[in-house]
Amino acid sequence: MTRLFFIAGEPSGDALGAALIAGLKELDPGLEVHGVGGPLMQAEGLESLFPMDELSVMGIAEVLPRYAALMRRIKECAAEVVRLSPDALVTIDSPDFCLRVARRVKAQSPVRTVHYVAPTVWAWRPGRAARMAEAIDQVLALFPFEPPYMEAAGMRCDFVGHPVVAQPRASDQEARAFRDRHGIAADAPLCLVLPGSRAGEVDRLAPVFGTALQTVASQHPGLRVVVPTTAGVAERVAGLTAAWPGAPVLIDPRADGTAAAAAKRAAFAAADLALAASGTVSLELAASETPMVIAYDMNWLSRQIIWRMVRLDTVTLVNIVSETRAVPEFLGEACQPGPIAAALCLLLEDPAYRAPQIEAMRVTMDRLGQGGEAPGRRAARAVLDGLATARRN
């Protein structure tokens, strides 16, 4: 029987953790799980030590007011890992929290440590790999170009594929049904708008996005808008988008998460284009071949510090994986309604502007493992193989 302690700090990590636990249970039916996770991991049998939402904080200015509470949770998690003495501690993304826990654990115990999602050392702060290697034995990478960075720092690293390639997709029939259900004509331009999953980013981006949509709607009077959201910010998003043009349809997971997930898939398939915050959502849009514009801004203090560290000229994952710059992005001071609206209008009006994006999306999905074994199961194999190798050595 394998005993593992998991820590996930946000919804994307919860999804990764749930798929990994499911894969592990297939390969090791006696699996015992402990730790911190959200509803998806809990559905796979994890009893969370405390609510995962407490860890969903991003940005320097946002973290500072909650620093003391986060430090208490770090100490609590580390103490519980040491007490349980699992076969491995599996931390999932959220490196500022998770790696602090791993360091505390390593200082007190020989527990094997696995981190799921390699740090983006290829984009910024390359020294993180060496510091990470002080506390982490194995890394599970989402992108095929990441293992060499981790291995050079002394960690085992397995490319396990990105979970987006295994996510279900809506059929054309489901896309048409979504439009019918919400009174959206078959020929009406439909724009997905995704202003983020954290309160701070929603507060910053929603006003900019709304103003941009006003311009798009003035040039395309039939425009309709769909806003998928997450439970943690659904109420906030509802208030901020109520006055937007396009009679916004809010996909709110609070009442029925399963129905909301199906509606989100259908909306992605039904949409003609999307305006989204930077992040993994660009890969979800790529999977459905929905042309997009990416826009993002941070708190002023975070922006001044973080943008200076970025080593790439793009942060959009489709651009990075496909090695193109097909997806337009408006970041930091460039996150302004006028240019964003102009790019959205081009996507609606010019097939030649959309075509490079579609090709870049297809390349991206192929490179991320589309058509192969599910990433959760590949990750599970890598974790168990790492344990077996460590025992032999």
What ranges make up the beta strands (E) of 307-370? 329-331
* pLDDT(2) > 90: yes
**What's the rounded mean pLDDT across residues 318-322?**
95
Task: Tell me the C-alpha to C-alpha distance, in Å, between residue 304 and each of 29, 123, 124, 307, 329.
Answer: 49, 16, 14, 6, 18
Please report the pLDDT score of residue 308 as a whole number.
62
* pLDDT(60) > 50: no
Domain boundaries, the chain: 3-161+371-392, 172-368
DSSP state of 323: T
Residues 144-186 pLDDT 10s: 999 999 999 999 999 999 999 998 999 999 999 999 999 999 9
Closest alpha carbon to 277 in 294, 256, 299: 294
The CA distance from 93 to 79, in Å, is: 20
Superfamily of domain 172-368: Glycogen Phosphorylase B; (3.40.50.2000)
> Is the fold of 3-161+371-392 the same as that of 172-368?
yes
Please report the pLDDT score of residue 87 as a whole number.
98
Please report the pLDDT score of residue 116 as a whole number.
98
The model scores a pTM over 0.85 = no
Residues 69-113 pLDDT 10s: 889 999 999 999 999 999 999 999 999 899 999 999 999 999 999
Who contacts 141 (Cβ-Cβ below 8 Å, separation ≥6)?
117, 118, 147, 150, 157, 158, 159, 160
More confident position, 332 or 344: 344
Mean pLDDT score of the chain: 92
Architecture of domain 3-161+371-392: 3-Layer(aba) Sandwich (3.40)
Please report the pLDDT score of residue 302 as a whole number.
61
Tokens 């491995």 belong to residue: 88
More confident position, 63 or 383: 383
Please return the burial class of 339, using the count of CB atoms within 10 Å of its CB with bins 0-12, 13-18 and 19+. middle
More confident position, 90 or 393: 90
Please report the pLDDT score of residue 96 as a whole number.
87
